[in-house]
Amino acid sequence: MSKRILISDIAKSLGVSVTTISFILNGKAKEKRISDALTNRVLEYVKKVGYKPNQLAQSLRTGQTKILGLLVEDISNLFFANIAKHIEESSYASGYHLLYCSMGNDTVKARELIQLFYDRQVDGFIITPTEGLEDVVALLLKNNVPVVLFDRYIPQVETNYVVSDNFNGSFRATKHLLENEDNRRIGFVSLYSDQTQMRDRMDGYMKALDQYQRQAYIKKIQIDEQEDIAMAQIFEFIEDNKLDAVLFATNYLAITGLKVNKKYGKLPAMVAFDDHTLFKLHEPAISVVSQRIETIAEELVKVLLRQIRNPQADVKHIVVPCDLKIRDSSTAKIK
């Protein structure tokens, strides 16, 4: 580990040229017709002295950093944290490391970070595109930087993405609620957001209602709304419309919903989008549409590496099914 040893040191010690060693280390011995004898001698020596090439020099020369940029909305969100974990594991297995960051809903920071990571010459990007990033992503593509989006995508930009089947997840969850005859009025709580996952979740809800010819009750909350205001709005939504059941479009909204219940003691049957460690333990246990996090992460890395290795590869759109997990909150009313 100490006194970094260079390829030139090895060359000197062995009385061979730097070029030869580089060829051997990069597996080009055969191709470059380096004799087996010398190849082995070098390999052995390299191992003995524990030489590790300087990544920076290597990257500077080859233009490859073996680093991927992971830009998520919020790494402290359980969904993203879990994805991040699996992405890291998959990448590690392929010799890639990850530079990460949370962008929040700060478009300026997001743009800057994409630029910064680009300047650092990451080999590819994994991004949850927040609103206002369309042009930056388009620019990356124009510069032939491999990109894969997830959780949501940008319709007007033709790039790789891996998303959950939000439509069907939502559709099935709503249908599940509709199947219970007690649930006459079923509401949907979502966010003011044009992101695809939100749109798809709403469409799924609508489709199910349409099949049963029922009225839709939809309440949208401002994205960074203060919690108590959001709570009041949800409470009012439920009260005023005398809802029997609610489908929450995100994990966080569902938690806010639970807080409403805690405070006002009033929550109808419900299903949440995205599972959460403690939903199972809640009283009653919360039914959820859960996303296949591991699959999503694996696909993300697979798609991105494919693009990195073959820049001509055609764009991939991967839709991963969701799983409806029926627990108590949707079968028995809360309290």
Interface ranges with DNA (CB under 7 A): 4, 6-8, 15-20, 22-23, 25-26, 32-35, 37-38, 51, 53-54, 57-58, 60-62
Contact 145, 123 (CB under 8 A): no
**H helical segments located in the chain:** 7-14, 18-25, 36-49, 55-62, 78-93, 107-119, 134-142, 166-179, 196-212, 227-241, 251-264, 293-309
Q: Which of 17, 19, 26, 55 binds its own copies (CB under 8 A)?
A: 55
Q: Considering CB under 8 A, how many residues would be counted as binding its own copies?
A: 55
- CA-based radius of gyration for the chain: 26
Q: Which does 35 bind (CB under 5 to 8 A by kind): its own copies, DNA, none?
A: DNA
For residue 141, state whether it binds its own copies (rule: CB under 8 A): no
For residue 12, state whether it binds its own copies (rule: CB under 8 A): no
Residue with tokens 């470059």: 32
* DSSP per-residue string spanning 274-286: S--GGGTTSSSPP
> Which of the 8 DSSP states describes residue 180?
S
5 vs 38, which CB is nearer to its own copies?
A: 5
215 vs 310, which CB is nearer to DNA?
A: 310
CA-to-CA separations, 178 to 256, 262, 275, 286, 322, in angstroms, rounded: 23, 25, 21, 17, 19
Q: Which does 213 bind (CB under 5 to 8 A by kind): DNA, its own copies, none?
A: none
For residue 135, state whether it binds its own copies (rule: CB under 8 A): no
Angle, helix 166-179 to helix 196-212, in steps of 10 degrees: 30
Q: Which of 6, 49, 81, 218 binds its own copies (CB under 8 A)?
A: 81
Which residues of the shown chain bind its own copies in the complex (CB under 8 A)? 1-2, 52, 54-57, 59-60, 65, 67, 74-78, 80-82, 84-85, 88-89, 92, 97-102, 109, 113, 115-121, 139, 142-143, 255, 258-259, 262, 276-283, 285
